[in-house]
Amino acid sequence: MTIDDVLEKAFQNRAFSKTFFVVERKAKEWLFDCQSCGNCVLSHTGFICPMRCPKGQRNGPCGGAMDGRCEVDKNKRCVWDEIWESTVRLNRVDLLTGNYEEPPDWRLYGTSAWENMVEGRLESPSIFETLFRKDKPLAREAPLVFSQILRNWYNRIASPSWHRYEGRPPL
């Protein structure tokens, strides 16, 4: 029995799936400002949630960002600026360039991405693939990934004065 099968069975238990989702949702909200879109691509995008972008851009930056600041709210950093920096630090830019991200399935909004992935509701099982199965599994670099997630988190709570930490000029 693989980990998939075990999880698939476990998710059929309503008590388990409910508890799992609450934990997943709260943890991801705290760490990534997760929007619970249910179509998680965090592992592709350097553990920065692209759904935080006002335009929800999942395939790349819009071209409206100036000096790394979002066009819509200049006090915020462009999400794609963060994504690029984070993936470069993780040395996994290939995850961005190689993947065409499908538009999200809005039926899954407000559900657990892990459950959707295990139950096969997502077309690309992105989290598993990138974390465990590919030739360059991210899980093998767990310390790097973990420290990057914390770094991203710190940069974000430091916002809107993030530029102080990035050596950029103040607004």
Partner 1 sequence: MKLLEIFQSGKFAVTSEVGPPKGVDIEEMLNDAELLRGKVDALNVTDQQSSVMRLGSLAVCHLLKMRGLEPVFQITCRDRNRIALQSDLLNAYVLGIENVLCLTGDYISLGDHPGAKPVFDLDSVSLLHAASELQQGRDLAGQKLKGSPSFCLGAVVTPGANPIEPQIMKMEKKVKAGAQFFQTQAVYDPKRFEEFMSQVKHLNVPVMVGIVLLKSAGMARFMNKNVAGVHVPESLIEEMDQAESKAQKSIEIAARLINEMKDLCQGVHIMPIGWEKKVPAVLEAAGLVEIRD
Q: Binding residues for partner 1, per CB under 8 A? A: 54-68, 71-72, 80-81, 83-84, 93, 96-97, 100-103, 106
Other CB atoms closer than 10 Å to residue 88's CB: what's the count? 12
Q: Which is nearer to partner 1, 56 or 120 (CB)?
A: 56
**Residue nearer to partner 1 on the CB measure, 109 or 146:** 109
Taking the least distance from each CB to partner 1, the nearer of 28 and 58 is: 58
Closest separation in Å from C-beta 109 to partner 1: 12
Closest distance of CB 169 from partner 1, Å: 13
Taking the least distance from each CB to partner 1, the nearer of 71 and 119 is 71
Residue with tokens 């819509």: 72
Q: How far apart are CA 95 and CA 167, in angstroms?
A: 27
Q: How far is the CB of 62 from partner 1 (least distance, A)?
A: 5
DSSP three-state, residue 69: strand
Under 8 Å between Cβ of 11 and 20: yes
Q: How far is the CB of 58 from partner 1 (least distance, A)?
A: 6
Query: Nearest to residue 10, comparing CAs of 158, 119, 141?
Result: 119
Name the token pair of 123.
Answer: 């077309």
